Structure 1
Amino acid sequence: MKTINSSVIILLISLFFSGITQGQNYQNIIEQHIKAIGGRESWDKIKTMRSEAMLKSNGAEIKLTFIQSDKKGMRQNISFMGMDGYSILTPTEGWNFMPFQGQTKPEPMTADEVKKGQDGLHLGDAFITYKELGKTLEYLGTDDMDGTECHKFKMIGKEGEETTFYMDAISFYIIKESQKINLNGKQIESSTLYSNYTRLPEGIVYPMAVGGGWGETIFTKIEINPKLEDSVFKLPK
């Protein structure tokens, strides 16, 4: 009968407890993040949201209004060049109307576009909703992002889509997320930067500045739990 070397046993035990410790540590990091952005209870109270912002891109200023109802619908109104457009998404359908891109009437989203947009219907932080959405999370250790030490996480969706999050190791705020997207048949990495985190009267902490390759979006007003009419998520007649 063969015996197992004692050093092998010690190594296996060490690896086992190392795995447990790493799991506990990254769960603690997530809880620190949720606490930093106002706490799970404050976020769970949010059922609707309306926000106003200004997008600055290539010297142009575009006025944006976002209207969201948790799991029911979201709408983005866009004012540019004296024209008003919009994008509407519900659990079953969606439409885009962009007159500044030459559209003369609303165009329905494809089934694939509707499917890919569903995660956006869930109000709440990604680290609060990921389990509900059937996603998994991997802790990738720490990384340096422009001189800021960050905890790095990879979130994987049900279809295999991956998003990488960079969380400030001191504030526990998300300062960057990146994902690979398909653009004209090519895979490119798209990154979003978050800053100017501000505590709202309702207790949540929200990034008032969001940047990326498209420009920078500055939020000027955020309303929590405003009353919304059902018609806001329906195609205007």
Structure 2
Amino acid sequence: MRSRLIISFISAALIASAGFAQDKNAPTLDELVSKNIEAKGGADALRGLQSLTLTGKMLVQQGQIQLTYVQTKKRPGEVRAEATLQGMTQVEAYDGKEGWKISPFQGRKDPERMSADDVKSLMEDAEIDGPLVDWKAKQSTVDYLGTEDVDGTLAHKLKVMRKNGDVNFVYLDPDHFLEIRILTQRIKHGAQVEVETDLGDYENINGVFIPFSIETGRKGDPDKQKIVIDKAEGNVPVDDAIFRFPTTATK
């Protein structure tokens, strides 16, 4: 009995020691954020990218329908996205204060202001840098949650709690430290929704690595919207008026 107790004690001590060694070797939050910034191109390159225009295609209904897609972002927090099919263009835009949309595919051809809940996703889309860069200045809180499997990749998982209460679970590739998945939890019209975004095919634009493949949809939904970027342009002059609610709209 005594020998079995000694063996059990030694085994427990070895397991605890191994766990301590793993924790000791685990990267810190600051190290992961720093590596993410460097992987994107570095702080100077990120600050130097003041606007970004992405052109490509949007695939919906499991790729059966293809729309022409254009998204324009401009610092400090403006974004406009257009999806065009058969002469009709859907528009969603945010000027840093309010969001609006034109939804011709739902029979609405006049611009409409968006609710505070609906505009949350646009506010995140407006970020050129992503959720980790300058997270303190954004008044977010960030925690490192260890690693988790993402389609066969043991990714670093970070939890970003935003100022507005939204939560992003950011998964970083363990080798390149770029985002490969972002799971967003937010309250929308009184109910919690989870949106999963997979990112890949990064390309260097003006010294900053930008994902050229973006697949988004409700968590667990097999029919996700996929955006494939064909062309990206950085620091092209952009008129702020394109982000604002059209003044000629019928009120």
Q: Say yes or no: does 1:41 pair with 2:44.
A: yes
The residue aligned with 1:203 is: 207
Which residue identity is paired with 1:45?
Answer: G
Percent identity of equivalent pairs: 25
Alignment of 1:171-210 (within 5 A): 171-182=176-187, 185-200=190-205, 202-210=206-214
Q: Residues 181 and 126 from structure 1, CA distance in 2 versus in 1: closer, same or farther, beyond 3 angstroms? A: closer
Residues 50 and 224, structure 1, Cα contact 8 Å, conserved in 2 = yes
Residues 91 and 114, structure 1, Cα contact 8 Å, conserved in 2 = no
Per-residue displacement from partner, 1:149-171 (whole Å, max 9, x unpaired)? 11110000123321101111111
Q: Residues 171 and 23 from structure 1, CA distance in 2 versus in 1: closer, same or farther, beyond 3 angstroms? A: closer
Q: Say yes or no: does 1:109 pair with 2:119.
A: no
Q: Residues 154 and 115 from structure 1, CA distance in 2 versus in 1: closer, same or farther, beyond 3 angstroms? A: closer
Residues 81 and 100, structure 1, Cα contact 8 Å, conserved in 2 = no
Per-residue displacement from partner, 1:110-129 (whole Å, max 9, x unpaired)? 24544664344343232113
Q: Which of these residues, 219, 231, 234, is aligned with residue 221 of structure 1? A: 231
The residue aligned with 1:50 is: 53
Aligned-partner Cα distance in 2 for 1:22–1:157: 28
The residue aligned with 2:84 is: 79
The residue aligned with 2:101 is: 96
Provide the aligned length of Structure 1 versus Structure 2: 219
Q: Say yes or no: does 1:137 pair with 2:148.
A: no
Stretch deviating more after TM superposition (209-218 or 36-45): 209-218
Gaps of 5+ in 2: 1-20, 218-223
Q: Which of these residues, 63, 66, 81, is aligned with residue 68 of structure 2? A: 63
Report SS of the residue matched to 1:130: coil
Aligned-partner Cα distance in 2 for 1:75–1:218: 17
The residue aligned with 1:6 is: none
The residue aligned with 1:15 is: none
Aligned-partner Cα distance in 1 for 2:77–2:181: 27
Instruction: Normalising by structure 1, report the TM-score.
Output: 0.82
Gaps of 5+ in 1: 1-17
Q: Residues 111 and 145 from structure 1, CA distance in 2 versus in 1: closer, same or farther, beyond 3 angstroms? A: closer
Per-residue displacement from partner, 1:156-196 (whole Å, max 9, x unpaired)? 01233211011111111111110224467543422110111
The residue aligned with 1:11 is: none
Residues 86 and 98, structure 1, Cα contact 8 Å, conserved in 2 = yes
Per-residue displacement from partner, 1:135-161 (whole Å, max 9, x unpaired)? 010000112222211111000012332
**RMSD between aligned residues:** 2.5
Residues 80 and 100, structure 1, Cα contact 8 Å, conserved in 2 = no
Residues 55 and 229, structure 2, Cα contact 8 Å, conserved in 1 = yes
The residue aligned with 2:14 is: none
Residues 92 and 114, structure 1, Cα contact 8 Å, conserved in 2 = no
The residue aligned with 2:171 is: 166
Residues 52 and 220, structure 1, Cα contact 8 Å, conserved in 2 = yes
How far the C-alpha of 1:230 sits from its partner, in A, is 2.9
